[in-house]
C-alpha cells in the first residue's frame, strides 16, 4: 500500500487504546501525570508520548497542570456530568440487587416512600422455582413489611407519627402492628440496629429483611430488601441475611454518591 494512504482501522484503534491507557492512569493518588510516566506506561519514546498527550489536550480531555505535568480536562468533567444524568436509582441499584439475589437465592426489592405510600421501584427475581414476586410500581402499606418500616424509621419522628395517625393501618395477619405507639417503638429499634426484619406481618408466609439506602447527603431515600418464604429462612439465618442486605445497601449508597458527585 502507498505510504500516503489513511491509517487503517487497526492503527486508529491502537491510538484510541493508548489514549484510554493514559486516561486510566489518573486516580485518587495520581491527579497529575508526567510525560515521562506516560512514556513508561506505554513503552514508547517521550516524544511519542507527548504527541498522544497533546492530542488529548487539544480535545480538552487533558490540560497542562500549573506545576508541570498533565491533569484531567474540562471535557472529562462534562462527560462525567452527562453520565451522572443518565443514571436513575434503578440503574445504580440493579447490579448490586442482582448480586444479592444470586447470593441469597431470594427475590430482592427496591422501594421508595411517597407520602403514605411505599412503592416497589424495581426487583431482582429469585432463581428458585417457588419465589416471592412484587410487581414494579405496586404500592405497599406503610405499617407492614420490612421495606416500609425501614423507610419510615429514618423519617423525622413527628412526620412518621403523623403519617401513621392519618393512615388506615390495616391488619394483614395476626402479626401486623396497627397501634401507632407500638409502631413508633418498633421504628426506634430498627434505627438502633440499622435494619428491619419482619416475619409474617404483611404476608403470613413471608420473611422480609430490609436496609436503608442513603444519598450523597446521608439522607435515606430508598430501601433494599430480601423477600423470602418463611419456611426457607430459619430465625438463626436472619442475622446472616441482614448483614448481606446491609452490605448491599451500603454498596448502592456508595454508587449513588459517585453518580451524584
Domain that holds residue 95: 87-260
In a shared domain, residues 73 and 173: no
In a shared domain, residues 95 and 194: yes
pLDDT of 20 higher than 50: yes
Using left for φ > 0, alpha for ψ between -120 and 50, and beta otherwise, residue 249 falls in: alpha
Residue 43 DSSP SS3: coil
Confidence label for 85 from pLDDT (cuts 50, 70 and 90): low
Give percent above pLDDT 70 in the chain.
88
Q: Kindly state whether residue 217 falls inside one of the protein's structural domains.
A: yes
In a shared domain, residues 59 and 165: no
Average pLDDT over residues 83-93: 73
pLDDT of 4 higher than 70: no
pLDDT of 5 higher than 60: no
| Stronger pLDDT, 85 or 120, i.e. the higher one | 120
In a shared domain, residues 79 and 91: no
What pLDDT does residue 130 have?
A: 53
Q: Kindly state whether residue 53 falls inside one of the protein's structural domains.
A: yes
What pLDDT does residue 28 have?
A: 83
In a shared domain, residues 238 and 159: yes
In a shared domain, residues 127 and 145: yes
| Stronger pLDDT, 220 or 6, i.e. the higher one | 220
pLDDT of 8 higher than 60: no
What pLDDT does residue 134 have?
A: 67
In a shared domain, residues 201 and 76: no
Among 29, 58, 84, the domain boundary falls at 84
pLDDT tens for each residue of 22-70 = 998 998 899 999 999 999 999 999 999 999 999 999 989 999 999 899 9
Angle at 189 between CA 170 and CA 141, to 5 degrees: 20
In a shared domain, residues 67 and 108: no
Q: 10-19 long-range contacts, Cβ below 8 Å, gap at least 24? A: 15/52, 18/42, 18/52, 19/52, 19/55, 19/56, 19/61
Average pLDDT over residues 156-185: 93
Among 30, 59, 84, the domain boundary falls at 84
pLDDT averaged over every residue in the chain? 86
Ramachandran angles phi, psi of 142, nearest 5°: -85, -15
Residue 246 belongs to domain with CATH number: 3.30.450.40
In a shared domain, residues 147 and 234: yes
Q: For the whole prediction, is pTM greater than 0.85?
A: no
Q: Which three cell numbers stand for residue 67?
A: 506545576
In a shared domain, residues 187 and 198: yes
Confidence label for 133 from pLDDT (cuts 50, 70 and 90): low
pLDDT tens for each residue of 196-226 = 999 999 888 899 999 999 988 899 999 999 9
Q: Kindly state whether residue 209 falls inside one of the protein's structural domains.
A: yes
Among 84, 118, 142, the domain boundary falls at 84
**Structural contact between residues 228 and 124, judged by C-beta atoms closer than 8 angstroms:** no
What pLDDT does residue 84 have?
A: 58
In a shared domain, residues 46 and 166: no
Confidence label for 261 from pLDDT (cuts 50, 70 and 90): low
Alpha carbons within 13 angstroms on the beta-carbon side of residue 84 total: 14
pLDDT of 122 higher than 50: yes
Number of compact structural domains in the chain: 2
What pLDDT does residue 110 have?
A: 92
Beta bridge partners of 222: 213
What pLDDT does residue 258 have?
A: 82
In a shared domain, residues 178 and 142: yes
- Tell me which residue has cell 505510504: 3
Amino acid at each position: 500500500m502507498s505510504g500516503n494512504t489513511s491509517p487503517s482501522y487497526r492503527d486508529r484503534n491502537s491510538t484510541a487504546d493508548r489514549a484510554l491507557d493514559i486516561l486510566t492512569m489518573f486516580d485518587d493518588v495520581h491527579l497529575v501525570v508526567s510525560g515521562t510516566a506516560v512514556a513508561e506506561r506505554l513503552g514508547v519514546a517521550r516524544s511519542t508520548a507527548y504527541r498522544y498527550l497533546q492530542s488529548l489536550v487539544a480535545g480538552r480531555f487533558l490540560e497542562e497542570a500549573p506545576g508541570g505535568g498533565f491533569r484531567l480536562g474540562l471535557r472529562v468533567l462534562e462527560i462525567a456530568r452527562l453520565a451522572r444524568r443518565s443514571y436513575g436509582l434503578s440503574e445504580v441499584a440493579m447490579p448490586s440487587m442482582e448480586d444479592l439475589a444470586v447470593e441469597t437465592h431470594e427475590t430482592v426489592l427496591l422501594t421508595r416512600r411517597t407520602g403514605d405510600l411505599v412503592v416497589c421501584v424495581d426487583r431482582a427475581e429469585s432463581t428458585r422455582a417457588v419465589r416471592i414476586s412484587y410487581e414494579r410500581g405496586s404500592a405497599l402499606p406503610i405499617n407492614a413489611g420490612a421495606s416500609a418500616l425501614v423507610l419510615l424509621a429514618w423519617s423525622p419522628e413527628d412526620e412518621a407519627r403523623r403519617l401513621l395517625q392519618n393512615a388506615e393501618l390495616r391488619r394483614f395477619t395476626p402479626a401486623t402492628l396497627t397501634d401507632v405507639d407500638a409502631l413508633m417503638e418498633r421504628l426506634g429499634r430498627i434505627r438502633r440496629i440499622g435494619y428491619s426484619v419482619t416475619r409474617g406481618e404483611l404476608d403470613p408466609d413471608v420473611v422480609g429483611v430490609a436496609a436503608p439506602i442513603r444519598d450523597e447527603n446521608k439522607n435515606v431515600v430508598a430501601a433494599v430488601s430480601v423477600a423470602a418464604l418463611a419456611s426457607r429462612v430459619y430465625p438463626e439465618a436472619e442475622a446472616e441475611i441482614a448483614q448481606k442486605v446491609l452490605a448491599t445497601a451500603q454498596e448502592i449508597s456508595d454508587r449513588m454518591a459517585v453518580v451524584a458527585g
